[in-house]
Amino acid sequence: MALKVYITMTGISRWPVLNALWAAVCCKGYVPDRIYLFVTKGKEKDAQALAPWIGALTESYGHRVEPIIREIDEGDFASSGRKITSVMEEERAAGNEVAIDITPGRKAIISSALISAWQKQVDHVFYLYLEDMRNANNPYPMIPFHLQHFVDLKEEVWK
């Protein structure tokens, strides 16, 4: 049976990591079996804080998933892209359903991830768009729903 794999990364804030995962579960019914959290150097404390939150969130939807934490260097786009691509290739080769969330990452890292996602034919490219950034550091259910849009860019754009 194929596993649902979710790939995300740290960014400027912690909330986009958690909120986009929460939206994937609530809006798309995508409850991951495996989560990769790519952490840029200098954001290790964010990964330590996010890991139990991710575990608690996934546990509330059926089974606790502890993220697999991988370090990337924000300034080394090629290396970061290769690391993300490697995970995509490995999981796709195993026959798993792969989603990448581009909500929280920095532009350079996200650009590398998007190129990889397109080349490796991932199943989902998730993005949580907020119309008003004043709510960006609130938990997902506290963001007015009319101001948020959770999309699978592969469904919306790559038809």
Mind listing the pLDDT tens digit for each residue in 15-35? 999 999 999 999 999 999 999
What single-letter amino acid sits at 100?
I
Annotate 36-54 with b (16+ C-beta within 10 A) or e (fewer). bbbbbeebeebbeebbebb
pTM here is: 0.92
Distance CA 105, CA 17 (A): 9
Chain segment 82-91, per-residue pLDDT in tens: 899 999 999 9
Which domains, from first to last, does the chain contain?
4-156 (3.40.50.10770)
CB–CB of 58/23 below 8 Å?
no
